[in-house]
Structure 1
Amino acid sequence: MNDLITRELDQGLLTLTFNRPDKLNALNIAMYRQFGDLLLAAGEDPQVEAILITGGAHCFSAGNDLRDFLDNPPSDRDSPVFRLMRIVMGLEKPLIAAVSGAAIGIGATLLLHCDQVLVSRSVKLRMPFAPLGVCPEFGSSLLMPRMLGHARAARLLMANELLDGEQAVAWGLANELHDNGEQCLAAARQLARRLQGYPQEALRVSKRLLKDGLREALEATVERESQLFIECLRTPEARAALRELVRD
């Protein structure tokens, strides 16, 4: 396993850091596989009590690596990206995100599945599905209207709205704002430590109860989105949009 995602376990807190700064932590197939494997192992490891995901102090993730995406598009539900989604949705341990800089595409929809999202003022959150000729993914078409209302969800999922850190908190996509990435990471670690101090089974049961009301609908939505996403990727408009961005 390479270090596209670094792993640090410190007294029960597992920190997973996207580590591809030259590509703004854009996710390729290798990273999807590694991220899924790390989360799956963390869910089963009794030494892991809480999980913190971050891209470091400067950039969370620019979303899919578009060149890799063009060369290796997901073709079925067992593709690494869709496997990762199922693993994240099945995770029972607290999942916290510390987000700075770009949080684009799946780098943004991933946050919908975290129990706590802390952001810095540098955050640039965007879900550019429509401009790329594809549809929403990772359950965002279900979760975002419930979280934000239809109009705001449509601004993000259809109109490619860009949110900064302050707006992300105001809209309810994050729940803490910090001045810079270092402060954001420190606060996320402090919050994780607080959760670690509580009875772990009670935390897992609480998370399960919070998620159970939407679990079946969310799983069905992700399956439907994934199939439509695959179909959209095969259209000439999506291929043209992706090629244009890769060319740039």
Structure 2
Amino acid sequence: MTDHVTVQIDAGVMTLTLARPEKKNALSNAMYGVLADSLEAAEKDPTIRVVVFQGDGDSFTAGNDLQDFAAQATGAFSGERHVTRFLKALANATRPLVAAVQGQAVGVGTTMLLHCDLVFVSPDARLTTPFVNLALVPEAASSWLLPARVGHARAYAMFALGEAVDGATAVAWGLANALVEQGDLRARARAAADQLAKRPLGALTVTKRLMRDAEKIAQLMDTEGAEFAARLQTAEAREAFMAFAERRAPDFSKAG
């Protein structure tokens, strides 16, 4: 295990496991670095034909580690933000991406699924994108990809109200392929990955390229990223993170 992410490669399948269950697999900057490195390595390795994402414990991921966010909001963070590399790696991935999702899938835990080609969810999955709750804006090109997938009204409710989508609804809305009992979830995702690994990689690569506008996605990520970074410096964001640390409801009227 490296920085709470395990990387396993077997029979053409790279499995990336978020292994920080005591924190609901909240993603730190270091974890983003491992995920980005792994996706970039997969693109260069012809023996890796499929990538699977999964999480240990009762959640897929609680999203970004809010301590990292708070550090950025207060100016205490310095160095490269590896989340940007991870998101760009998702945008530019040519390998099929498969996800096994149980429990919480918060923020990037949901938006990254929009870049996956096959998604399997358990009945207890709860997909949420509560960016506005934190005085932030959508990322990972989700401001385009989510409405395109589920419609404006549903996407807006997820973004602006932070409404959760359960596993069955995720399947009904087209955010996931199938509902799978948690005990069978990883096996189902792996079986799908094994099937893909046996398909002609060239044909899969071209099919994915035809189905996605990778250049537009990457450009939108840049636009969202700039807005996101600017929002982190606002009084609204400081109030949101202070309220979280103090375990109270935020009062955005204080932020003007």
What TM-score, normalized by structure 1, do the two folds share?
0.93
- CA distance in structure 2 between the partners assigned to 1:2 and 1:43 by the alignment: 20
Where in structure 2 are the equivalents of 1:70-81 lying within 5 Å?
70-72=70-72, 79-81=81-83
Give 1:188 shift. Answer: 0.6
Match of 2:176 among 171, 174, 177: 174
Determine whether 1:122 maps to 2:154: no
Which residue matches 1:2? Answer: 2
- Native 8 Å contact 1:28 1:69 kept in 2: no
Q: Secondary structure at the match of 2:56?
A: coil
Which residue matches 2:164? Answer: 162
Give 1:57 shift. Answer: 5.8
Aligned amino acid, residue 188 of structure 1? A
Post-superposition Cα deviations, 1:196-245, rounded to whole Å, max 9, x if no partner, equal 1111111111111111xx33332221111110001111111111111221
Which residue matches 2:253? Answer: none
4+ long deviations beyond 6 Å: none
Which residue matches 2:205? Answer: 204
Determine whether 1:221 maps to 2:223: no
RMSD: 1.7
Give 1:3 shift. Answer: 4.4
Give 1:156 shift. Answer: 0.7
- CA distance in structure 1 between the partners assigned to 2:11 and 2:245 by the alignment: 42
Q: Secondary structure at the match of 1:198?
A: coil
- CA distance in structure 2 between the partners assigned to 1:39 and 1:219 by the alignment: 15
- Native 8 Å contact 2:20 2:56 kept in 1: no
Which residue matches 2:102? Answer: 100
- Native 8 Å contact 1:66 1:246 kept in 2: no
Q: Secondary structure at the match of 2:15?
A: strand
Percentage of identical aligned residues? 41
Where in structure 2 are the equivalents of 1:36-185 lying within 5 Å?
36-56=36-56, 58-72=58-72, 79-180=81-182, 182-185=183-186
Determine whether 1:246 maps to 2:248: no
Q: Secondary structure at the match of 2:154?
A: helix
- CA distance in structure 1 between the partners assigned to 2:215 and 2:92 by the alignment: 12
What TM-score, normalized by structure 2, do the two folds share?
0.91
Any unmatched runs of 5+ in structure 1? Answer: none
Aligned amino acid, residue 108 of structure 1? T
Any unmatched runs of 5+ in structure 2? Answer: 248-256
